[in-house]
Amino acid sequence: MSGSDKMDDMALKHLLEFLEKKDFKKKFLKKLNDNIDIPIINEKTEKKVLDKVYDVMVDALESIV
């Protein structure tokens, strides 16, 4: 593994640590939900969808580390 690859892995691990912080997730998802409006579903359902997408994204990133 080259030095560049090690740096990339370290950066990804730090990003994952940041994404897993509940305070960040809460603020991030609130901002997304405030700015995304899907007319056929209510805000509560939008929040659930965004929360699940966020969790899947973090899981996918964890699987490639």
Q: Give per-residue pLDDT as tens, 47-64.
A: 999 999 999 999 998 998
- What is the pLDDT at residue 4? 79
d(CA 41, CA 9): 38
Q: Where are the domains of the chain?
A: 3-64
pTM as predicted: 0.81
Q: Which of 58, 62, 4 has its CA nearest to residue 29? A: 58
Q: Give per-residue pLDDT as tens, 11-51.
A: 988 999 999 999 999 999 999 999 988 899 998 999 999 99
1 pLDDT above the threshold of 70: no
